[in-house]
Structures are given as C-alpha cells and as structure tokens.
Structure 1
Amino acid sequence: MDFELPEEYRSFQDMVRRWVDKEVPKEWARALEKDEHNYPFALWDKFTQAGFHGIGIAEEYDGQGGDVVMQMLLARELARSLGGLAWIWGITSFAGSKSIGLYGSPEQKAKYLPLIATGQLKAAIAFTEPGGGTDLLGGMTTTADRVEGGWKLNGEKIWSSSAHVADYLLVIARSDKETEKKHQGLTLFWVPTRTAGVKITPLAKLGMRSMGSCSVHFEDAFVADEQVLGAPHKAWYMLLPTLNNERIMVGAFCLGVIDGVLEDALDYMKQRKAFGGIIGRFQSLQHYVADIATMQKTTELMLHFCADKQARGENVGVEANMLKLMASENANAAADRGIQIMGGMGYSAETDMQRYWRDSRLWRIGPITNEMVRNGIAESLGLPRSF
C-alpha cells in the first residue's frame, strides 16, 4: 500500500503551485473577489494560456490529457490562492469536458471538446430549482416538451454559477411526466445561452462573488435534437458518475482552502506579537493550528483514495459523499479557526481568511447539503430511507 503520489503527479503539482504563486497570488485573488459585478475574464484567460482547460481532455480533441487525479491536484492548488474562484475553471470542466466527454456523441465531442480545451467555450450548470434545492428530483418543475426537430423548455433554475457569461448551459429537465419513479423521464440538454426564451439574471450572494451566480428562466426555449446529451429520458443514469466526480472536485477545492488557511495562520502566528512575544507561543492558538493541520492531512488522504478509485473505474459513490461531507466541514472549520487566530485581521477584507470562510461555507450546502449526504451514507449502511 503506497500513499505517495507517483513522480509524474508530484511534478505536475509542483508546477501548478509555482504557477499559482506567480500568476494568481492571494492579493490578486482578493482584489478580483471584491468586485461582485465584473466576471474575472483575466483569470479565465490565464487558465487558457496555461492549458488548464485541457486537463482531462484527450489530445485528439486538443486537450492536455490527464486523469481525475491530475484534475484534483489542479483543483487543490488553484483553491489554495483562489478559494471559491477556482470554480471559474471547475464549472466548465464539469459541465463541459466531463459531461460531453462521457456521454456526448462523437459529433458533439468533435465539435465542443476542442473549444473547451482551448478556452473558447464557457459552460454553466443549470440543475437546481427554486422550489427544489437538494430535492432535485422531487422539486423538478422544468419541463421539456417534444416538438418538431427538438424540444421546448419551460421552467426556472437557480444558483447557476457563471451562467451570465457562459456560452452553453447544461440543463436537466423532465421530458416524460408519466413515469413510476422520480429519477425516470429526465433529459439532459446542452443549451446555447443566446437561445430565444432564455433569460439569465445575476444574484447577489455571500461568497465567490465575482464569479457570479444566476437564475435562469426558460419560456418556450427551443432546443434542437442535436443538443440532447445521451439518450432522452435517461439523464439520471448517465449523471451519477459525473456527480461523483463533482463531489471529489469539491473535496479538492476544500483541501486547497485548508492549505491556504494553514499557510496564512502559520505566517501570522510567527509574525504577530502580543504580550511580549509572538502569538505562536500561545498554547490555545497552537491547538487551533494543530487542528487545521490534522484536517488537512485527513482530507488529503480521503481525496487521494477517492480520486484514485474513480480513476480506476471503480464505484466511488459512498466514498465521494463521505469526502464531500468531511472536506467541506473541515475547510469551513479550518477557516473559522483561522479567523480566530488572526482576530480582527482575520475578519478584515484586507486578508484572505474571511474569504476562505465565506467561500467554504457554500460547500456545506452545495452541490448537495451535508445533511442529505449523511442520509445517503446511513442508507448505504442498511438503514431505512429517511426522505
């Protein structure tokens, strides 16, 4: 049993870490995050120039190759500085390259994957509904009705991050209303945002500000048959592997946040002086930083386990849920302790600790609440379904 990354992965991680320190340092990320009304196109362009949009996409589609482990190493290193703004890369990676790459047709792959890999296409996810939240299936009111040559979409989605700048939306809608079970009769659509009948409205929120999150309204929006991903009415069965990937990606982002928190906490504790010496000598603060370091290591081990298992094609559903649960709570708790260590400066917008806290708070809610994750884990252990 080997817990060390192979040399190829370590070299890649080191390269990304150096790139982050040079190209997207924390002070630059902090400035980007303050501007809620302007999407950070400069950050997207930096990812494009570095070739990061092509990680996980085969070379035949102009990608850089690489497996899920490499993607998670990239996610971790980006989040160390960018926090939640790392989703600028992650959303299109999930909505575009993962979805198109897994269940797109040969024609769809040939058309869209090169555009994604070279940073020419931005995507957004439009799954959650205002009345549904975590109850994605039970709360699904967005419908897709068959018409000549395609489908008409009607309904509303919410918390669609970066939808206001996206070229395409990954949309799930109910296409068959006469089914025995809620997970049946759903279809996945790849919807151009400029489609008539699509209205996108930005929403104000606590964290990940400049990335933007939106509500999306569909009113008789026509989507052609060639914009359907996979088989009609079978979307839920196709989505499950990518939902596991999303949970693992969240785990990687959370680990990156913990890295950043620990880095900043230690720097502050070694420099800040009070009561005649550095505050790093105070036992209570040492306990806080020891907690953060322990959170870092346990999250890292679980992330590597899940990413490796997924890369080998094994079922990682329960473990991915466990990772998402543990990583999000660790990241938010670590940032909270970091604020406590830094006191007023931790609460100040002039430092990153408050940004780590605000961004990581979301991951306890989305893409699925930790309460629902716990329900699923308990059910996997043979207990009755609670919802």
Structure 2
Amino acid sequence: MNFELTEEQELLRQTVREFVERECPKSAAREWEAAEEFPYELTRRIAEAGLNGIGIPEEYGGQGGDLIDQVIVCEELSRSLAGLAWAWGVTVWSGAKAVSTFGTDEQKRALLPSIAKGETRFAFALTEPGGGTDVLRAMRTRATRVDGGFVLNGTKIWSTMSNTADRIMVVARTSEADKPSRGLTAFLVRGGSPGLTARPIPKLGMRSVQSCEVAFEDVFVPDEDVIGEVDNGWTQILASLNSERIMVAAMCTGILQGVLEDAVEYAKQRHAFGKPIGAMQAIQHGIADIAMKLETARMHTYRAAWLERAGKPCGVEATMAKCLAAEYAVEAADFGIQLLGGYGYSMEYDMQRYWRDVRLLRIGPISNEMARNYIGESLGLPRSF
C-alpha cells in the first residue's frame, strides 16, 4: 500500500509550510492565543491564502482537492497554530462538507463561494448539557413545524465558534420515533437570529477559539435553511464522523510535529554539566519516542484518509487514528514540558500551549474511552453501552 504524496500534494504541503512560517508562525500564535479573543486577523490571512477553498469544487469558487489535501493543510497549520487551527477547521470540516454533501443547489450556490472566500464562518451545535457522548438519548432541543419553517427551542453546549459564526449547524428533534436516532433534523441557523444567545465557556486551552453554551428561545428557521432531509439528520451526521475524526488526527499529528521541532531545538541549545542536554541518553530516548509516535500517528491518519477518499469502510481506522494521535500528542507535549524544565511551565514557550490545546482532543469530539468501545465492538465484543 503506497501512501506517498503526489507531486501536487508535496507542492501543497510546501506552500502551506511557507505560508505558516511567513504569516502565522509560533510567535504570532502565542500572541493570538494569549489575547483570548477570536483571531480575525488569522482567519483573514488564511482566507487570502486560499486555504478555505481546499476541498470545495472549483465550480463553487474553491480550490478543488479532497480529504487528503485537507489533512495536509490541517497538519501544517496545527504544527504552528495548535488549537487555533480550529478557526479554519470548523468551517471547512463541518460547514463546507455538510453543504457540499447534503445541501440543495441553492444552498451550495449561496454558501460554498462565501466559505471559500472566508466570508462565512460555521459552527456546529450537537451536544447538550448533561448529555456528553450520549447525544441521542440526551437530545432535548426541539424544532416545531410552523408556517414557512421551524421554531427551535433548547440548549446546546461545547459549540465551538458559535459566538462568532455566520451559520450554526444545529441538530434538533423534529418528531418522535421508535429509535432515538430517528426524527432528527439538521438546520443551518443564521448567527444573530432573534432568540439565539451564545455564551463562551472559560476553558484550559483553545482560549481564542471559544466554545459556547448556545440557547435557542423560539428561534425561527426558514425551510430554506434545513440541510438535508427532515427527520433524517442523524444519518447525515454519521456520514461526516469519519472525516471529522481523521481531521482531528491530522491536527494532533501537526501538534506532534511542532512538539518534536521545539524539543530537538531546545535539546541542542540548552547546556548542562558541560554539554548539550541532547547528548544525554534519557533526553535522546524521549525525543526518539516522540519521533516514532509522530510517524505512527501520521501513517494511521493518512491510511484512514486514503480509505475514506476511496469510498471504503474506514470507521475503525479513523477512530484508531484519532485515539492514537491524541494520546501520543498529549504524552509528547507533557514530555516537552518536562524537557524544558521551568521554561516548559512558562507562557513564553509553546510546550504548555501544545499540551493545553491537545488535551481536549482526548475528550472530544469523541472520548478515547468511547473510541475504544467502538473498536472493541468491531472485534466482535458485546456492546458496552
């Protein structure tokens, strides 16, 4: 099996690497993250570079390309930006993919060109308070049919960027059914709609890309903003889960690359007991472990992406990639903090930022415990929940 990148993909990687070094290096990422405000300047630069259009067909103003191209972009952005890459990713992964796959011709013409230009930002609202991973049984948000559309009532939580989004993809119950996975519908709710409020939640990492509690109080959604089939929203969500897990794995892989670069550089420069600390076996072994984890995460990520692009089953592979890459990145960043000693605890260095951002990815968008449940079930073990 050959995962070697094509000449065009290698050129894309190099182009994004040069863009990152020029327009959003690690020093700039530290400043954006420390501001704890949405990085509009970062998203402007990304849009001007044409990266929002990767994966959007050229007929809708995009750059074309596929999931592997998006993985390349995500990995290169995350190497410097870490969790700030969500400012690009949420719109590209959830918004553009949903519209491209399930949108009407009118929705595609209205939204995809503006996404490609960076003029429209998306958020995704699925999880509910008290529900966590038990999304279906905890679903309390309701959408009631009215003349010309639906009225939404309910509360979502951990909806990233919903306070700055132009559209929020919301999943709500529209009818009662014999199974909790049925009777759900997805809506493209317009940001700023009357009755919609989004409250940022203070959190450990990813502070400038806020996650919110979103309340819907009699929010009207016109029929034209229903995405896909009414009462069949869960099927649509399932269709995007593998891509989401692959992209999260790509983000973790990029963060691993950033950790490795910083660890090697520090180990070369820092001297103790008359020699660079990189000459000490314990340090060398720790850095070698990071390098091996990076290559393992990358191989799992690209294998899953290759399967998804080929239209082959990849649920287990995508879940494995996400689970492994997240755990490897957390372990690597923690070692990096220890390697830097006091500087590792300093906000002037990036190790603590890598750790704070990637720690969340062991929890969401699916916890690694639930990921293991799914993998175990795929091996023929009984369902545990």
Query: Which residue of 2 is the match for residue 184 of structure 1?
Result: 182
Amino acid at match of 1:350: E
Query: Which residue of 2 is the match for residue 21 of structure 1?
Result: 21
1:226-281, Cα deviation, whole Å (9 max, x unpaired) = 11111101011112121111100000000000000000000000000111111001
Amino acid at match of 1:82: L
The alpha carbon displacement at 1:3 in A equals: 3.2
Query: Which residue of 2 is the match for residue 106 of structure 1?
Result: 105
Q: Secondary structure at the match of 1:138?
A: helix
Question: How far apart, CA to CA, are the structure 2 residues paired with 1:148 and 1:318?
Answer: 43
1:69-107, Cα deviation, whole Å (9 max, x unpaired) = 000000000000000000100000122110100100111
Q: Percent identity?
A: 52
Query: Which residue of 1 is the match for residue 327 of structure 2?
Result: 329
The alpha carbon displacement at 1:316 in A equals: 1.1
Query: Which residue of 2 is the match for residue 364 of structure 1?
Result: 362
With normalisation by structure 1, the TM-score equals 0.98
Query: Which residue of 1 is the match for residue 31 of structure 2?
Result: 31
1:96-120, Cα deviation, whole Å (9 max, x unpaired) = 1101001001111011111101111
The Cα RMSD (Å) is: 0.8
**Bigger Cα displacement from structure 2, 205-214 vs 265-274:** 205-214
Amino acid at match of 1:206: L
1:28-76, Cα deviation, whole Å (9 max, x unpaired) = 100110111x211000000110001111000110000010000000000
Query: Which residue of 1 is the match for residue 67 of structure 2?
Result: 68
Aligned pairs for 1:36-185 within 5 A: 36=36, 38-177=37-176, 179-185=177-183
Amino acid at match of 1:139: A
Question: How far apart, CA to CA, are the structure 2 residues paired with 1:151 and 1:259?
Answer: 46
Q: Secondary structure at the match of 2:138?
A: coil
Q: Secondary structure at the match of 1:137?
A: helix
1:175-215, Cα deviation, whole Å (9 max, x unpaired) = 112x1111111100000012111111111100011111111
Amino acid at match of 1:5: L
Aligned pairs for 1:178-327 within 5 A: 179-327=177-325
Q: Secondary structure at the match of 1:343?
A: helix
Amino acid at match of 2:7: E
Question: How far apart, CA to CA, are the structure 1 residues paired with 2:218 and 2:308?
Answer: 38
Question: How far apart, CA to CA, are the structure 2 residues paired with 1:270 and 1:357?
Answer: 22
Give ranges in structure 1 of 5+ residues lacking alignment.
Answer: none
Give ranges in structure 2 of 5+ residues lacking alignment.
Answer: none
1:342 equivalent among 340, 343, 348: 340
Amino acid at match of 2:358: S
Question: How far apart, CA to CA, are the structure 2 residues paired with 1:315 and 1:149?
Answer: 39
1:275-308, Cα deviation, whole Å (9 max, x unpaired) = 1111001111111101100100001111111111
**Bigger Cα displacement from structure 2, 272-281 vs 307-316:** 307-316
Amino acid at match of 1:334: A
1:128-163, Cα deviation, whole Å (9 max, x unpaired) = 111111111111111111111111111101111111
Q: Secondary structure at the match of 1:363?
A: helix
Q: Secondary structure at the match of 2:153?
A: strand
The alpha carbon displacement at 1:8 in A equals: 1.2
Question: How far apart, CA to CA, are the structure 2 residues paired with 1:212 and 1:3?
Answer: 35
The alpha carbon displacement at 1:171 in A equals: 0.4
What stretches of structure 1 move > 6 A for 4+ residues in a row? none
Q: Secondary structure at the match of 2:362?
A: coil
2:374 aligned with 1:379: no
